[in-house]
Chains A and B, each alone.
Chain A
Amino acid sequence: MVPVVPPVRTEGPTPLFGAYGIVKRFGAFTANDGIDLEIRAGEIHALLGENGAGKSTLMKILYGLLEPTEGVVTHRGDVVRLAHPEAARALGIGMVFQHFSLCENLTVAENIALVMPKGLSGRTLKARIAEVGSTYGLHLDPDRPVWSLSAGERQRIEIIRCLLQNPKLVILDEPTSVLTPGEAELLFTVLERLRDEGRALLYISHRLDEVRRLCARATILRGGRVVWACDPRAETARSLAAMMVGVQVREVKPPSGVATGPERLVLSGLTLPAPGLHGTALDGVSLSVRGGEIVGLAGIAGNGQAELFDALSGETLAPEAGMVRFDGVASGRLGITARRRGGAGFVPEERNGHGAAPTLSLSDNAILSRHATAGLSRFGVLRRAAAKALARDVIAAFDVRKAGPDPAAGTLSGGNLQKYLMGREILAEPGILVVNQPTWGVDALAAAHIRQALLDLASRGAAVLVISQDLDELFEIAGRIAVLHDGTLSSPVPAAETTREALGLRMGGANPAEAAEGPVAGAPDHAREPAHAH
């Protein structure tokens, strides 16, 4: 490493942490190419950029997971070497990972204990988890194993684990991507409080409205370089997005008119027992989705979304065939392949491990879901050329960025893999498409692409059911929105006739009509309370 003297270019006080001339190369690939970044105490600093812009690499360098090829990191003006995360933690740097860094078979408390100082007793730790949990409204049962928790609950562990270390700098990678609006509001309150306590926060998000609301300074990366540093409050979401991607983001065309197509996806009284101790039972879920419309299902993680998706895709069979009807065919007892043959497509929530096998190539992954519907085998023998051609079509149609002609699915960034999985299903022209969290952790450009593709699919006559925690997304694409709470589904209402607040109340289990007269009137905060009760 060439020693580099940090350039004296600071305005005002010495920054709490600085990174100067950071270069990180992986072989021939340069992930960071001369990045300068200064973070001051008491500020929330936004780091913006597309997937692959180098944000994660820079964060890993600041957290001591990677060492820069060139460049230095400073703490209060002194050059420091962050050889491993413990060194970073000792300087007061905490991290909330996007792809949670949790051990599934350990409990919540055990996962937190892994990074706590030595000699902390289990009882003290549980007390502190409960204390931080109640202070910030992040409730968790410390004895639950992580595998039984939803994505939203897992993130709470990450946040609590970070807060318990009393950090001076908190790095948050896409922290709101799995939160409901109520939970996100709560998180913002927490973050503003941490800022007011004089801590620095490095905030990575694709949600530009959040960045404009929270952050006073933003650094925008593109292709491993800093392309802009600005005050996001003085910018619009569109101008920020344009700086990020270098081109104007096209707006998603909103849905038009009322769908009058035939009922293609019909659920009637779908009832299923809870799949495990911590699963959610589905209780009389009824819904009808017409051809040409997108119906959105809102709800806080862990209220039956996974169970409903599994019942729709055929991973769980319904007790009666008639409870799930695709194009009039009673499909509740059919397997996944039979449902796909009937013209349905499914994109599950977890990209790696559920939607795709991460160690298999993209073309192999195409075979996994399309083998029965795209003629990818003949007499039981795979037609590799056809699978590769299909993968190429998906990659071209959905602008999937990847290295090499047919790489392993796990090597793609989250947004690009999601585009590939969406494309794999959408190119099959399904009559019915069920998607769970279509844009989880996906950058603005890719998310817009995916949403537009869903709208286009619906306009071609398909019935699309989108399960999402992102209310903005649902308002953007869904014609009607229903709320899933504790395994029961509210009747869908036209998106134009409802509000975020009304949906938020329903997501928390309250009926907005009753709540308007009751003591909780006008208190959207209540939306999040009952959701943690079970």
Chain B
Amino acid sequence: MTIHGVSLDIVQMVLITIVAAATPLMIAALGELVAERAGVLNLGVEGMMVLGAAAGFAVAVETGSTLLGALAGAGAGLALSALFGLLTVVLSANQVASGLAMTILGLGLSGLVGASYVGLKRDPAPHLSVPGLTDLPGLGGLLFGQDGFVYFAFALAAGVWWFLWRTRAGLILRAIGDDHTATHALGLQVRKVRVLAVLFGGACAGLAGAYLSLSYTSFWAPAMTAGRGWIALALVVFASWNPLRAVAGALLFGGATVLQLNAQAAGLGLPGQLLSALPYLATILALVLLSLGRRQGGSLAPAALGRVFTPHR
């Protein structure tokens, strides 16, 4: 089946690649979004992601189970974020400095965990296969032939949106991110909610890393996240702390990545380095456009973001 000479299957292949590139960004960004909505800026996403990639791959190789690998990846991210939460929320340390330390620590620890797994290769995570549906031309593979991470990422986006705007706990989380002094005065548990939000963000970052080593590439290489944690952080701002926009941003960034890869392969004559920078430039451009359209009054960002809360009693 072709339209204007372009096979629908090729379009579908490109779309599948875009979704695959967007999935880790989506998962990590959604986790960070929840943490930032609670008022905690976690710059350690990159470190938690890369540790999740290493731990996830190691456990998957040892047990032969992708699911256990994914859980181990999330657990590794969670463990590192627990340290971050202890430092920033409980001990009121500076969030920026602690987050950067987590990234460096995560990169180092991941090298240690993954040292004996460099060069190993395993089968990628299994993909969904529904007889009759997956084989549908044009759409089947895109809708019904993805692996579990992809479906989870989209379910996560819907779940985070529902949680933040449709539940009482989500309201409390947003309120704490907006003004920790006022919410503390009302008797809400500022620190507890923030720690939980940080843990959720860390688990998501770890899971996003596990996706990279279990599905996206199905091998482990040191520092294989290649800055995706930082992109996820930028996406949260780009999405103005809205989970559905974070999905759109991740897909846009994934699209730009795939586009530049294809452009390099097609030999457009532009320097490869410039093309590699394209997704980042697109993100910066989107950020600028977004801040131009800022609304009057109030603030898009959670007002207490990055501010340390110390109750005295």
Binding site for B on A (CB under 8 A): 26, 64-67, 84-86, 88-89, 97, 100-106, 110-111, 113-115, 118, 145, 147-148, 275-278
The answer to whether B296 touches A277, judged by C-beta atoms less than 8 angstroms apart, is: yes
How far is B188's CA from A64's CA once the two chains are assembled, in angstroms? 12
A118–B297 Cα distance when bound, in Å, is 31
Q: Is B4 an interface residue (CB 8 A)?
A: no
Given A65-B313, A114-B175, A114-B188, residue A103 in contact with residue B183 (CB < 8 A) = yes
Is B298 in the interface zone, CB < 8 Å from A? yes
Interface check B174, CB cutoff 8 A: yes
Contact B182 A26 (CB under 8 A): no
B172 contacts the other chain (CB 8 A): yes
Give 1 or 0 for each of B183-224: 1 = CB within 8 Å of chain A CB: 111111000000000000000000000000000000000000
Interface readout for B168-182 with A: 1 if CB under 8 Å, 0 if not? 100110110011011
In the bound complex, residues from chain B placing their C-beta under 8 Å from that of A145 are 297-298
> How far is it, in angstroms, between the C-alpha of A475 and the C-alpha of B171 when the chains are bound?
45
Interface range for B? 20 to 34
What are 12 residue pairs bridging A and B, where the CB atoms are less than 8 Å apart in the complex?
A: A64-B187, A89-B187, A100-B182, A103-B178, A105-B174, A111-B175, A114-B172, A114-B186, A115-B186, A147-B297, A148-B298, A278-B297
Which of B181, B297, B303 contacts A276, CB < 8 Å? Answer: B297
One of A26, A67, A115, A275 near B187 (C-beta < 8 A):
A115
Contacts of A64 in B (CB 8 A): 187
Contact A104 B186 (CB under 8 A): no
Residue in A114, A115, A276 with the greatest tally of chain B CB atoms within 10 Å: A114
For residue B168, which residues in chain A have a CB less than 8 angstroms away from its CB? 113, 118
The 7 lowest CB-CB distance pairs between A and B, nearest first, are: A85-B187, A103-B178, A101-B182, A101-B185, A147-B298, A276-B296, A103-B179
Residues of B within 8 A of A113 (CB): 168, 171
A104 in contact with B185 given A118-B168, A145-B298, A276-B297 (CB within 8 Å): no
A110 to B184, CA, bound (A): 16
Which residues does chain A contribute within 8 Å of B297, judged by CB atoms? Answer: 145, 147-148, 276, 278
- Which of B184, B185, B187, B313 meets A86, CB within 8 Å? B187
For B312, list chain A residues within 8 Å (CB). 26
Q: Report which residue of A105, A118, A148 has the largest number of chain B beta carbons within 10 angstroms of its beta carbon.
A: A105
Instruction: Given A106-B174, A148-B297, decide whether A101 and B186 contact each other with a Cβ distance below 8 A.
Output: yes
The verdict on B273 contacting chain A, using a C-beta distance below 8 Å, is: no
* In the bound complex, CA of A118 to CA of B167 (Å): 10
**Chain A residues near B302 (CB-CB < 8 A):** 105
Give every chain A residue within 8 A of B185 (Cβ-Cβ): 65, 85, 97, 101
The answer on a CB contact under 8 Å between B188 and A105 is no
A107 to chain B, nearest CB (A): 10
B2 located at the interface, meaning its Cβ lies under 8 Å from any Cβ of chain A in the complex:
no
Between A and B, how many residue pairs show CB distances below 8 Å? 72
Say whether A110 contacts B175, CB under 8 Å.
yes
Q: How far is the CB of A365 from chain B (nearest CB, A)?
A: 20
The residue of chain B having its C-beta at the shortest distance from the C-beta of A67 within the complex is B313
CB distance from A299 to the nearest CB of B (A): 21
Chain A residue nearest to B312 (CB atoms) is A26
Indicate with 1 or 0, residue by residue over B113-155, a CB within 8 angstroms of chain A CB atoms: 0000000000000000000000000000000000000000000
CB distance from B298 to the nearest CB of A (A): 4
Asked whether B171 lies within 8 Å of A114 as measured between CB atoms, the reply is yes
Q: Which residue on chain A has the smallest CB distance to residue B175? A: A103
Distance from A73 Cβ to chain B, minimum over Cβ atoms (Å): 15
How far does the alpha carbon of A278 sit from the alpha carbon of B174 in the complex, in Å?
A: 23
Contact at A103–B182, with CB atoms within 8 Å? yes
Instruction: Verify A114–B313 contact, CB threshold 8 A.
Output: no
Chain B CB count within 10 A is highest, among A85, A106, A115, A145, for A106
Check A110–B171 contact: CB distance below 8 A.
yes
Task: Closest A residue to B178 by CB, please name it.
Answer: A103
Residue of A nearest to B296 (CB): A276
Q: Kindly state the separation between the CA atoms of A240 and B299 in the bound complex, as whole angstroms.
A: 44
Q: Which residue of A lies closest to B188 (CB)?
A: A114
Q: Chain B's nearest CB lies how many Å from the CB of A92?
A: 14
Which of A85, A103, A118, A275 lies at the interface centre, i.e. has the most chain B CB atoms within 10 A of its CB?
Answer: A103
- Residues of A within 8 Å of B181, CB to CB, are 101
Could you tell me the distance in whole angstroms from the C-beta of B178 to the nearest C-beta in chain A? 4
B172, B188, B303: the one contacting A104 at CB < 8 Å is: B303
Q: Which residues from chain A contact B182 at a C-beta distance below 8 Å?
A: 100-103
Additional A-B contact list (20), CB under 8 Å, known A66-B313, A101-B186, A145-B297: A26-B312, A65-B313, A85-B185, A88-B187, A89-B187, A100-B182, A101-B181, A102-B179, A103-B174, A103-B182, A103-B303, A104-B299, A104-B303, A105-B303, A110-B174, A111-B175, A114-B172, A115-B186, A148-B298, A277-B296
Measured CA separation A66–B311 after assembly (Å): 10
Q: Which residues of A contact B179 (CB under 8 A)?
A: 102-104
Bitwise interface map of B from 14 to 28 toward A, beta carbon under 8 Å scored 1, else 0: 000000000000000
A106 and B187 within 8 A (CB): no
Q: Chain B contacts of A278 at CB under 8 A? A: 297
| Cβ-closest chain B residue relative to A61 | B313
* Most chain A beta-carbon contacts within 10 A, residue among B187, B296, B313: B187
Q: Which of B172, B184, B296, B312 has the most CB of A within 10 A?
A: B296
**A86 cross-chain contacts in B, Cβ below 8 A:** 187
Residue of A26, A85, A104, A276 near B178 (CB, 8 A) is A104
Checking B175, B184, B313 against A106 with a beta-carbon cut-off of 8 angstroms, the contacting residue is B175
Q: Please determine whether A114 and B298 come into contact, CB atoms closer than 8 angstroms.
A: no
In the complex, which residue of chain A has the Cβ closest to the Cβ of B298? A147
